[in-house]
Structure 1
Amino acid sequence: MSVAAQVAFRNGSIFTGSGQPLANHVALVNDGKISAVLDEAQAAAFINDATEVIDLDGALLAPGFQDSHIHPVSGGTELLQCNLSEADSVQEVVDTIAAYAAANPELEWIVGGGWSMDHYAGGAPLASLIDAVVPDRPVALASRDHHSLWANSEALRRAGITAATADPADGRIERLEDGSPAGTLHEGAMGLVEAITPELTEDFALAGLLKAQDDLLAQGITGWQDAMINEYNGADSLAAVYQRALAEGNLKVRVRGAQWWKRDQGLEQIPGMIALREQAAALEMPERYSLGTVKIMVDGIAENFTAAMIEPYRDKCGHATENKGISFISAEDLATYVTALDKEGFQVHFHALGDRAVRDALDAVAAARAANGPSDNRHHLAHLQIVSQADAARFVELDVTANLQPLWACHEDQLDELTLPFMPHSAQDRQYPFGEIAATGARLAAGSDWPVSSANPLEGSHIAVNRISPENQSVPLGGEAQCLSLKAILAAYTSGTAYVNHLDEVSGHIAEGFAADLVVVFPNPFEVPAEQIYKSQVRSTWIDGQCVYRAADLPEPVNAR
């Protein structure tokens, strides 16, 4: 480097994407890339009056955060629909539904989501709650985790769901004592109503994507893996939405899309997936957008007893039941599908929450490795609520990344009331065993599953380090052995997810030649007590050396030495 830097970040610490932060160093940017990371004395020679100097004022400069498992379009569109995510009680939820219906009298259907299972007995709200405020129009609202749907009586009537309607093989209808539908549908049963709700228009999906992008940039997120690029609310593929955003110059972040594996189909899906991947590749913007991943939903979730378990769930009295959850795809078929996808060069992104699902997913990767040999496809397992001790070390053996959603790894009502009491004894102390997996040397990536939970990486990092939610007097979930270091979780949110997204030679690091995708965080989370990490906030976000978000209370930078 021999010319003056266009941008210089100084007077703070630099987390490069791994290891301890560098103090008294300056990051220099030219043409959208990091041109050097030098100490203050060395950097002085490359700063002049034309350099835009960003005074970090003690803040931390880090690579832009990347989310390894997120649903931006559904999250963004829910913010534009009947959004229940801010409601803290049943009454607030009902009031929000009533207000939204009154404000939108022209809508034939009321749709949206964000309700929390822990607000309702058994995690299952009743249709009658909605009927009381919206009796004459159908209402269908997804739960915060999108594994359950709450419908009113009119929606159930239009869908033809009665006491005689059988549960689908991959889901369950909550019922009243007389067998009639109560109002909540789980997993595959959601499709009975979703099949008749209005389809998502491309214009509205694009508005949701751009709304999500704005919100995520404000949280320092400069890239993500969209865990469901198609099959959302009637849309055959959201690929067209992303491509339109690209064509119109509105997609700022870096995106790797995961094509959705339809569990009622088989290998015949793969040619279409190859075609979509090639369509994205033809845009010749692989650093901005690609479709080289396939998402496979192996099981459900523990709260509605559909996470696939090795041992059975218990009933409310603590006795073992016959229910071991639902494997949406048999272990044998899963191995066949993953082997075929691996052979075609696809990365497989598994939803694997129960210990049997995790085992089946790892077995499938092992089968692919045996058939195809080593690859650089970078398969990863997301969620990992329960992992058996025997399987924890297999991530390293199989070169599989552990994709963590750290915000869930603490005691809270939904876990303590709707999950732990019904878990088999063997799983009680094995909730989200992140520390155990990390200790084996496994690769880690981190994400949020937003809108299931907050996308904020600093909130997620707080939980990963403490295993206790902010200002909570509880004990660390799983014990201190499951806590991660701050540098480990920030690496997972930066270089770790960049690796999963096949962008590790482009982003995720602050080093010469890497894209200047950056986030400024204050106070520096490395310099505050661990129990205050969550108080750190994003001051600014940068992509390719351009500021794409600046906190409202920050002045514009001054060009000065």
Structure 2
Amino acid sequence: MADMILYKGAVYQVDEAQSWAEAIAIKDGLIIFVGSNQAVMAYNSEQTVVIELGGKMVLPGLHDSHMHPLEAGSEVGGTCLLTPDTPPEEFHDTFIECAPNQIGTNWVLGGGYSIYTLFESQELPVDILDAAIPNKPAAMLEETSHSLWVNSLALELAGIDKNTPDPPGGIIDHDPDTGELTGILFENAGNMVLDIAFARTDEMDFYNYDGLLYSLELLAKNGITSIADARVYWERGHIVAWDRAEEEGTLTVRATLDLWAYPHYDDDTQIQQLIAMYRRDPDSLLKITQVKMYSDGLIENGTAALLEPYNDGYGIVGDTGMNYFEQDRIARYVTELELEGFDFHIHTIGDRAVHESLNAIEIAKNTNGDRDRRHRLTHLELIDSADRPRFAELGVIADFQLGEFTAPSHVQDYVPILGDRAYDMVPIRAIHETGAIVTISSDWDVNALPPFENIQRSLQRDDKSLPDLATAIRAYTINAAYLMRQENETGSIEVGKFADIIVIDQNIFDVPTEQISQTKVLLTMLDGDIVYQAEEGISGNNVAPFFHSTPITTAKVGEVYTYAVGAYDMNMHDVLTITAITKSDWLTLAANGDTALFTDTIGYSCTLVGIPTLTDVGTHPVKLQVMDTDGLTDTQAFEIVISTETATATLTPTPTATLEATATLEATATLTPTATTILEATATPEPFWIYLPVIIK
């Protein structure tokens, strides 16, 4: 018997056949049945929790394969909340107010400004920050998280002066006229400073865990049951927070942790450190099976790696961007670590980064031979046409984020930076059409979290849209499950898989595309346990009974008509009353006149029975009703068509031609075809002395 039953739903299974079902039965965290409302009854018992879905849509739990839940939720990220449109000189009062409120570290942290407005200032950024926060190290993360604004004390603690060379994967910005530090650190130069600010302490661990709990609640509310934390800074203690969540039973997702590959670390040492952290316990919700590497930076900062230079006046003028890891280093990491079971998650924004990363994976393939690789490139804002078929050829997964910046209305924002290349950004449709596996993820909290916003956006990008909703759903479910190597356990609603299931308030196949983003999650289940339930949504309270039997709709004159009426109620405590609202007089609803009362059984049944006569030939409407204790009902209406047929009678033995006085003439009539009916014997002409009784067979 099942622990839980969901029924009367629109269950979109996301299997190969794109099947739909009505009901699901769950036991010990696994799906044990998917099918009809009628068939699911076999799995019910008095201990089963039953949820009537009322026609609501059911999907597999959503997979977000690229997000930053710990960083998004942790208050250690800073209390100085800045805005991208505000001139930096106007941040002075904000800095004064937020500086005393920092928690978890003695640094003053925050972010949200725009690199463009910062560079438009007449003052050096470092001087603006020094004037407001002179006595504590301060670091403000730019809105895209790809550059850092720091004060002089932060530079001093990091050992950075105007003569310090750029670190691997980073740029230390200088004033072009004086050579002095501007206080802006691009890419890994900023990450190295934040490693100091976020150095692990007990207090830091506490706030990281607290922030993770906050994020886990949001994930459940959004129907997300599997995620990849796309940048796990293991030197900052991120794994500690995740481990605590599993130990204390607070995980609401299956989590794959992507270990950050530090660009400035010695490769020999770091490869061994990564191997030591690998984990894949089939009984754990937590896996450490992926490595996150950055190939390049960001288009807006001029740090994305391009095959052709940026337009003059943007980024690093005339340049083609930069690399965190160059092709040969990526190839070494992939070649060595895929043999240890790791899959790679490579940040690739520019087309050169994509090209070089595909080259690196091809080098690993040529070195290690064919194997079950699940490497993926993420972001993919620019992809050269020559490289597009290589995703399918190399088995590389294409992971796209479809934030607001990908909307057609924002194309013009990139034309000054990229020229005509801006018109072919984020080519998700083109990659899908090559046969490559495509996933959609959020990159929260860089972009918005709600999955249905991203699903909608994937269908609203003109000629770069995915072909249909079914494809978009697969990108957020079974394809991402494949990416995480769990497609045999979750990602679709099939028997034997984990009961990672969500219920939503509308069938997204039935609404206009522009309304998909309005979808609300009503219920989220992980391993068969409810981890989120909307207050206004479905519940396991009393549900209506229903008829599950199929009516018998034909009868014959003189034959017994029998229909075993079956009704069912998922609430085992309910008492059901079955009533014939409409029926003909020749019918009887057993066992109590026209009302049959049955209690405390799994199936409720009675019998509609009768023998029609010649006068009943024709059509007879029937309407039955089943009602539970609280007055919830279901009805079943049908018609019974009564017919008759001609039978041939044969007398046995054949009557004799002579008969003695006072003798009895006996014969048996045999009908062809055989029937239960009433026969009348007649003699023509009939002598007055013959008595012919009615013969009943």
Q: Which string of whole-angstrom CA distances, capped at 9 and with x for unpartnered residues, describes residues 104-144 of structure 1?
A: 59973222444455765679993465556545433212233
Look up the SS of the partner of 1:333 in the other structure: helix
Partner of 1:209: 212
Look up the SS of the partner of 1:445 in the other structure: strand
Q: What are the within-5 Å matches in structure 2 for residues 277-296 of structure 1?
A: 277=278, 280-281=279-280, 284-296=281-293
For residue 100 of structure 1, the aligned residue among 98, 101, 105 is 98
Q: What are the within-5 Å matches in structure 2 for residues 44-193 of structure 1?
A: 44-47=41-44, 50-78=47-75, 81-82=78-79, 84=81, 87=83, 89-90=85-86, 97-101=95-99, 103=101, 108-115=106-113, 126-127=125-126, 130=129, 134-156=133-155, 158-159=157-158, 161=160, 163-168=162-167, 170-176=169-175, 178-191=178-191, 193=193
> Identity of paired residues, percent?
32
Q: Which string of whole-angstrom CA distances, capped at 9 and with x for unpartnered residues, describes residues 372-414 of structure 1?
A: 1111131111111111111111111111111111225624898
Contact 1:18–1:487 (Cα < 8 Å) also in 2: no
For residue 368 of structure 1, the aligned residue among 360, 364, 370 is 364
Partner of 2:619: none
Distance 1:315 1:122, change over 3 A: farther
The answer to whether residue 417 in structure 2 is matched with residue 422 in structure 1 is: yes
Contact 1:125–1:184 (Cα < 8 Å) also in 2: no
For residue 381 of structure 1, the aligned residue among 331, 355, 377 is 377
Q: CA RMSD in A?
A: 3.2
Offset of residue 40 of structure 1: 2.7
Residue 98 of structure 2 aligns with an amino acid whose one-letter code is Y
Distance 1:173 1:21 in 2: 52
Partner of 1:461: 455
The answer to whether residue 334 in structure 2 is matched with residue 333 in structure 1 is: no
Partner of 2:270: 269
Distance 1:179 1:192, change over 3 A: farther
Offset of residue 182 of structure 1: 3.3
Partner of 2:197: 197
Distance 1:494 1:443 in 2: 12
For residue 305 of structure 2, the aligned residue among 295, 304, 308 is 308
The answer to whether residue 231 in structure 2 is matched with residue 228 in structure 1 is: yes
Look up the SS of the partner of 1:341 in the other structure: helix
Distance 2:402 2:503 in 1: 21
Distance 1:403 1:130, change over 3 A: same
Offset of residue 347 of structure 1: 1.1
Higher fraction of strand: 2
Contact 1:51–1:559 (Cα < 8 Å) also in 2: no
Question: How many aligned positions are there?
Answer: 536
The answer to whether residue 341 in structure 2 is matched with residue 345 in structure 1 is: yes
Contact 1:298–1:352 (Cα < 8 Å) also in 2: yes
Distance 2:18 2:438 in 1: 19
For residue 14 of structure 2, the aligned residue among 11, 17, 22 is 17
Distance 2:408 2:75 in 1: 24
Partner of 1:400: 396
Distance 1:286 1:408, change over 3 A: farther
Greater mean alpha carbon deviation, residues 30-39 or residues 390-399: 30-39
Contact 1:267–1:337 (Cα < 8 Å) also in 2: no
Look up the SS of the partner of 1:526 in the other structure: coil
Distance 1:387 1:148 in 2: 24
Contact 2:407–2:457 (Cα < 8 Å) also in 1: no
Greater mean alpha carbon deviation, residues 196-205 or residues 395-404: 196-205
Q: Which string of whole-angstrom CA distances, capped at 9 and with x for unpartnered residues, describes residues 304-352 of structure 1?
A: 111111111111399x953111122232332233222223332111111
Distance 2:408 2:130 in 1: 30
Distance 1:97 1:210, change over 3 A: farther
Q: Which string of whole-angstrom CA distances, capped at 9 and with x for unpartnered residues, describes residues 290-311 of structure 1?
A: 2122222111111111111111
Look up the SS of the partner of 1:525 in the other structure: coil
Contact 1:127–1:153 (Cα < 8 Å) also in 2: yes
Distance 2:194 2:67 in 1: 21
Partner of 2:243: 243
Segments of 5+ residues of structure 2 without an aligned counterpart are: 544-569, 571-697
Distance 1:93 1:439, change over 3 A: farther
Q: Which string of whole-angstrom CA distances, capped at 9 and with x for unpartnered residues, describes residues 185-230 of structure 1?
A: 2112214632542524322222222222122111111111122223
Distance 1:88 1:73 in 2: 23
Residue 193 of structure 1 aligns with an amino acid whose one-letter code is V
Distance 1:20 1:526 in 2: 16
Offset of residue 359 of structure 1: 1.0
Distance 2:261 2:160 in 1: 26
Distance 1:217 1:344, change over 3 A: same
Greater mean alpha carbon deviation, residues 175-184 or residues 370-379: 175-184
Residue 501 of structure 1 aligns with an amino acid whose one-letter code is M
Distance 1:106 1:361, change over 3 A: closer
Distance 1:327 1:105, change over 3 A: closer
Contact 1:301–1:307 (Cα < 8 Å) also in 2: yes
Contact 1:78–1:112 (Cα < 8 Å) also in 2: no
Contact 2:169–2:263 (Cα < 8 Å) also in 1: no
Q: Which string of whole-angstrom CA distances, capped at 9 and with x for unpartnered residues, describes residues 525-552 of structure 1?
A: 2221112211112222111111111224
Offset of residue 429 of structure 1: 2.3
Distance 1:499 1:317 in 2: 39
Offset of residue 506 of structure 1: 1.2
Look up the SS of the partner of 1:226 in the other structure: strand
Distance 2:11 2:536 in 1: 23
Offset of residue 240 of structure 1: 3.0
Residue 231 of structure 2 aligns with an amino acid whose one-letter code is M
Offset of residue 95 of structure 1: 6.7
Contact 1:78–1:113 (Cα < 8 Å) also in 2: no
Q: Which string of whole-angstrom CA distances, capped at 9 and with x for unpartnered residues, describes residues 270-307 of structure 1?
A: 22222211xx34xx445512212222211111111111
- Structure with bigger RCO (C-alpha 8 Å, 6+ apart): 1
Residue 57 of structure 2 aligns with an amino acid whose one-letter code is L
Distance 1:125 1:105, change over 3 A: farther
Distance 2:35 2:20 in 1: 10
Residue 274 of structure 1 aligns with an amino acid whose one-letter code is I
Distance 2:409 2:81 in 1: 18
Greater mean alpha carbon deviation, residues 200-209 or residues 349-358: 200-209
Residue 344 of structure 2 aligns with an amino acid whose one-letter code is V
Partner of 1:443: 437
Partner of 1:36: 33
Offset of residue 59 of structure 1: 2.9
Q: What are the within-5 Å matches in structure 2 for residues 503-542 of structure 1?
A: 503-542=486-525
Distance 1:59 1:199 in 2: 47
For residue 8 of structure 1, the aligned residue among 5, 10, 20 is 5
Residue 487 of structure 2 aligns with an amino acid whose one-letter code is D
Offset of residue 436 of structure 1: 0.3
Contact 1:163–1:178 (Cα < 8 Å) also in 2: no
Distance 1:429 1:272, change over 3 A: same
Partner of 2:659: none
Q: Which string of whole-angstrom CA distances, capped at 9 and with x for unpartnered residues, describes residues 481-525 of structure 1?
A: 444422212211111111111111111111101111112222222
Distance 1:146 1:88, change over 3 A: closer
TM-score normalised by structure 1 residue count: 0.86
Segments of 5+ residues of structure 1 without an aligned counterpart are: 468-478
Distance 1:198 1:351, change over 3 A: closer
Look up the SS of the partner of 2:14 in the other structure: coil
